[in-house]
Chains A and B, each alone.
Chain A
Amino acid sequence: AQSVAQPEDQVNVAEGNPLTVKCTYSVSGNPYLFWYVQYPNRGLQFLLKYITGDNLVKGSYGFEAEFNKSQTSFHLKKPSALVSDSALYFCAVSAVSGGYQKVTFGTGTKLQVIP
């Protein structure tokens, strides 16, 4: 079985400061990892994914994520937070199960960027 843990329900950061949103995962085989963002009353928007290769993945809106196989982590980062980054962030792990792409999401982390 695959699973994702986002240990922080909420992360507060001052505008201009670096931010980190944590994620750990469990999956059999090669991990395919995703980050999505959700704004109020909206669906999820894709930010970035790790498939293979460089452990530092760059995505949309200046976000990046660092894959660490030994720690089974895929933390989301941004060097300088904006107020507009305030949203709900979901980490997800994907694997083929029963012949289809099964995506399991974490419970989400609310990011609050304080002006």
Chain B
Amino acid sequence: DTGVSQDPRHKITKRGQNVTFRCDPISEHNRLYWYRQTLGQGPEFLTYFQNEAQLEKSRLLSDRFSAERPKGSFSTLEIQRTEQGDSAMYLCASSPGLAGAKNIQYFGAGTRLSVL
């Protein structure tokens, strides 16, 4: 049984460059979430997919951020023209498609982004 996997684990980039992260959810989970976590804070919601549809986006997700989940399997999160304020841990989580608020979200190990 494989859990949620994220790639890369670490990314160092220069300000202004574009970066892309990948998340592979647990195979039978149709719901996928992206969160951002900064030092001393809990994860903050960025966006949510149900299958291939992106159903919710946080105001934290500026127009430099875009996420996709083609075919409802893996997902990518792209940040264009990175800024130093984008430095954070980006976490992906997946959950089964049960209705309501009772689902456990299963998290990947995260991608730590450092923007120099």
Residues of A whose CB lies within 8 Å of any CB of B are: 4, 9, 32, 34, 36, 41-46, 49, 51, 90, 92, 94-96, 98-108
Contacts and interface: CB of A to CB of B under 8 A. Distances in A.
A106 B40 CA distance: 10
A44 B44 CA distance: 13
A90 B42 CA distance: 7
Contact of B104 (A46, A106, A107): A46
A29 to B, nearest CB: 9
Contacts of B91: 43-44
Contacts of B108: 43
Nearest to B108: A43
Given A43-B4, A44-B91, A108 B100 contact: no
A76 to B, nearest CB: 14
Given A43-B91, A44-B43, A108-B41, A103 B105 contact: yes
B107 A100 contact: no
A106 B45 CA distance: 12
Interface of B: 4, 6, 9, 31, 33, 40-45, 48, 50, 55-56, 91, 93, 95, 100-110, 112
A92 B45 CA distance: 12
A59 B56 CA distance: 31
B104 A100 contact: no
16 contacts: A32-B102, A41-B9, A41-B112, A42-B110, A43-B4, A43-B91, A43-B107, A44-B107, A46-B106, A49-B104, A96-B101, A99-B56, A100-B31, A101-B31, A101-B103, A107-B42
Given A43-B4, A43-B91, A43-B108, A96 B100 contact: yes
A100 B41 contact: no
B101 A101 contact: yes
A99 B102 CA distance: 13
